[in-house]
Amino acid sequence: MNQPSLVKETQKTRVVLGAPSEAKRRYMLVRKFLPSDAEALSQIFIQNLRQVNIRDYPSEAIEALVRLYTPEQIIERAGKWITLVCTDGQDVVGTASLDNDRVREVFVAVSQHRTGIGKQLMHAIEMMAKEQHLEKLYLLAGISAEDFYKKLGYVVIKRFDNDLNGIPLRVIRMEKDI
C-alpha cells in the first residue's frame, strides 16, 4: 500500500517534554518508521508485554504475543500501515501506527511511561488521520491502557475476548471523533 505523504509537522515533529522550570529539557522527534528501527521496537514491544501486560493477561497469552513482534514482522506490518516512531536523540523510545481508521501498536519504552511520549504519538496519528479526512478513529486497547486512552478522549464501545490462537485475550474497543 502506498503511504500518503505526511504533513510537515508530522514528518519532523520536535517535542519538548518537561516543565519550563526544569534545567534539562528533552527534545523528542516523531518521524516515520525506518527498517533500522525494527530491532529497537521489537525490544520495546516485548518489554511492555513482559513487564506491563503480564499484570493483566496469562503468561501463555503474553508469550503468544511476543512471537508476533520480531523485527521482520514489524517491518512487514510497517509496510502496510503508517508507522511512526518517537526518538530521544538516537534512541527509539516509542511507536504508533495507523491502519486506515484503526490505531495500532502504540507502545512506549517502559522506562519512558508517563512522560508524554504516548500522548505525542497519538496526537501525530490523529493529525495524519485528519489529513486523510477521517472523522473517527478506533483501537483495541489492552486492560492497562484503557485509562491512557480515556484521558485522550477515547470512549469505551465494548469489552470482549479476542481469540489469540485459542487463548482468550480481553480487549476494549474504544473510539474517538477527530
Domain 8-134 grouped into CATH 1.10.10.10: no
Task: Output the pLDDT for position 108.
Answer: 98
Task: Output the pLDDT for position 26.
Answer: 67
Strands 26-32 and 82-88: antiparallel
Provide CB contacts within 8 A for 56, sequence distance 6+: 142, 143, 144, 170
pLDDT in tens, 110-129: 999 999 999 999 999 999 99
For the chain, the structural domain boundaries read 8-134
Q: How far apart are CA 47 and CA 110, in angstroms?
A: 7
What does pTM read for this prediction? 0.85
Q: What is the percentage of the chain residues whose pLDDT exceeds 70?
A: 85
Q: What is the 3-state secondary structure (H, E, C) of 88-125?
A: ECCEEEEEEEEECCEEEEEEECHHHCCCCHHHHHHHHH
Q: How far apart are CA 57 and CA 152, in angstroms?
A: 24
Q: How far apart are CA 145 and CA 64, in angstroms?
A: 19
pLDDT at 18 over 60: no
